[in-house]
Structure 1
Amino acid sequence: MLDVRRLRLLRELAHRGTIAAVAEALTFTPSAISQQLTALEREAGVALLERTGRRVVLTPAGVALVRHAEAVLERLEQAAAELAASRTDLSGTGLAGTVRIGAFPTATRAILPSALAALARSHPGLDPMVDEVDPVEVAPRLRAGELDVALVHEYDFVPAEPDLALDAVPLLDEPMYLATVHPLSGEGDAATLLTCRDAPWIASTPGTLCHAMTVRACQAAGFSPRIRHHIDDFATVLAMVAVGQGVALVPELGAADPPEGVTLTALSMHRRTRVAFRRGAGGHPAVVALIAALRSAIR
């Protein structure tokens, strides 16, 4: 019989690429991960990994087993969701327990307070715990069980990477704006952005989706932005724009209450926010309740 915990490790190796990365993420030693994967190979009776120097790659059998592991782990999530629903029905006391939520900064400020207030009114026994995380960190933390639900976003020029371990439902679609201190006259996104090709730009930290969106949108317009400041908080970004420190792309949630003197030019590009969770967990009562609270906050 194949051990489910070892199947999780094999799946993580498929996602992360190295045993060292799996060990660091799951707070094990690399040798412990190697021992568990070796034991899984003995259980499977076939080589799952091919070792080349310090690197390992999955064999065809290993790749196939990862696909089966995804299906097995999804069914386990479904079982856990059904059992949680049964416990709730039998107790008659409503939902209880901890629900761990990941959210990017704009959503933490603009969406979560109202959503958590609604959740507290409907399900006072639930204990939400929020971690502010960039969407690029969400998938591994959901897979590892560190988060139960997460708000993630994607941009027109930065689509979400598919992950067979996760599922998601749409929450919000918001337009993007170009923030400047002078009105712009260009028609169309490319022409509008080109009017700022020689200006200094303000973008998020490299490695984030917001940073990639700024760079790719400008490149699509025909130039590479000269980034002067790296700032993740959109309120701070707009304050910097207001004092002439540069121009910036900001989503609608980040453009609320702009400082005096800042002009927001609407673009046709969008940012889309989704609620992500482990595949199979969509029917868990706590996940259902949180999604309902988030949608009520958007309304």
Structure 2
Amino acid sequence: MLDVRRLRLLCDLDLLGTIAAVARVNAYTPSAVSQQLSALEREAGVPLLERTGRRVTFTAANRVLVTHAATVLAALEQATAALASASDRLSGPLRIGAFPTAVRTLLPRALVSLGREHPALELRVTELDPVAVPRALRERQLDVGLVQDYDVAPAAPDADVDTTPLLEETVYLAVPARSGTTGLPAADDSAWITATPGTLCHTATIQVCRAAGFTPRTRHTADDFATVLALVAAGQGVSLVPELAVADAPPGVRLTALPHRRRTRIACRRGAASHPMVAACTAALRDSVAYSAGHV
């Protein structure tokens, strides 16, 4: 019989790449992880890892086992959700990861609602770029997270994560009010305020500008849209901002709607969508979006 805890370590190794990283995530020593994986090999009856010094690579048998292990772990998530549904009271930690604009605009109302309806929940919020959410879910650092993509930068499917739509927004070009820039093509020679390279917002900005025929010239880098809009108002450059961020745009910013969309989805580990805590969080976030839409 294959040990489920060891299967989880194997999946973590597939995700993280090194035994040292698996040890950090699971609060084990590297030696303990190696021992557990060796025990899993004995249970499987076939070699799973090839070791060369400190490096390990997967065998063909390991690839097969990892695929099945992911299905087993998803089934365990479903079983946990079913057991939790038998209780009439939600309690314990609910760890939520969200991007900065959502933390400022959508989460406060959702958190108040969750706290009022389920006072025994321990709500914990982490500000996180959407590209980091799937990994945080797989590493069990989060229970629910907000992921995103843009029409110009669609997300690849992730077999380990279940998602459900939450919000779709218009993308705007933000320019200083006194600027002569009248649209995206005219912004090719402007200074730009872009997000940190590697973030989804940075990737989307590059793609939108390239589709318009140019590469943006970055002057400032900022990841919080309130900061971005303040810099635009100060005449420091132009930027792309989503609809959630423009409600509090300061004076001195002119906004032009673009034919591009940012899409936000609620994400959880595969099999966990029916867990009562995840379902309650999903409902609260949707209510918050509906409330915001009705008070624009």
TM above 0.5, one fold?
A: yes
TM-score normalised by L of structure 2: 0.91
Aligned residues: 288
User: Residue 180 of structure 1: which of 175, 184, 204 is its match?
Assistant: 175
- Give yes or no for contact 1:84–1:284 (8 Å, CA) kept in 2: yes
Aligned to 2:59: 59
Q: 1:223 to 1:31 in 2, by over 3 A?
A: farther
Determine helix, strand or coil for the equivalent of 1:282: coil
Is the deviation greater in 158-167 or in 173-182? Answer: 158-167
Aligned to 1:260: 251
User: Residue 98 of structure 1: which of 93, 96, 121 is its match?
Assistant: 93
Amino acid at match of 1:252: E
1:295 matches 2:296: no
Aligned to 1:116: 111
Question: How many angstroms does 1:258 deviate by?
Answer: 1.2
Q: For residues 235-246 of structure 1, what are the structure 2 equivalents within 5 Å?
A: 235-246=226-237
Question: How many angstroms does 1:184 deviate by?
Answer: 4.6
Q: What is the CA RMSD across the aligned residues, in angstroms?
A: 1.8
Aligned to 1:162: 157
1:203 matches 2:194: yes
Q: For residues 13-162 of structure 1, what are the structure 2 equivalents within 5 Å?
A: 13-52=13-52, 54-88=54-88, 94-162=89-157
Amino acid at match of 2:26: L
- Give yes or no for contact 2:181–2:187 (8 Å, CA) kept in 1: no
Question: How many angstroms does 1:221 deviate by?
Answer: 2.3
Which blocks of at least 5 consecutive residues in structure 1 are unaligned? 89-93, 186-191
Taking the aligned partners of 2:67 and 2:58, their CA distance within structure 1 comes to: 12
Determine helix, strand or coil for the equivalent of 1:241: helix
Query: What is the percentage of aligned positions where both structures have the same residue?
Result: 59
- Give yes or no for contact 1:173–1:271 (8 Å, CA) kept in 2: yes
Question: How many angstroms does 1:95 deviate by?
Answer: 2.2
Determine helix, strand or coil for the equivalent of 1:47: coil
Amino acid at match of 1:39: A
Question: How many angstroms does 1:51 deviate by?
Answer: 3.5
- Give yes or no for contact 1:177–1:266 (8 Å, CA) kept in 2: yes
Q: 1:159 to 1:34 in 2, by over 3 A?
A: farther
Is the deviation greater in 207-216 or in 12-21? Answer: 12-21
Determine helix, strand or coil for the equivalent of 2:154: coil
Aligned to 1:188: none
Amino acid at match of 1:71: T
State the Cα deviation string for residues 205-244 of structure 1 (Å, max 9, x = none). 1221111111222223222211111101101100101111
Amino acid at match of 1:195: A
State the Cα deviation string for residues 173-229 of structure 1 (Å, max 9, x = none). 0111111123654xxxxxx43311111111111221111111222223222211111
Amino acid at match of 1:144: E
Determine helix, strand or coil for the equivalent of 1:87: coil
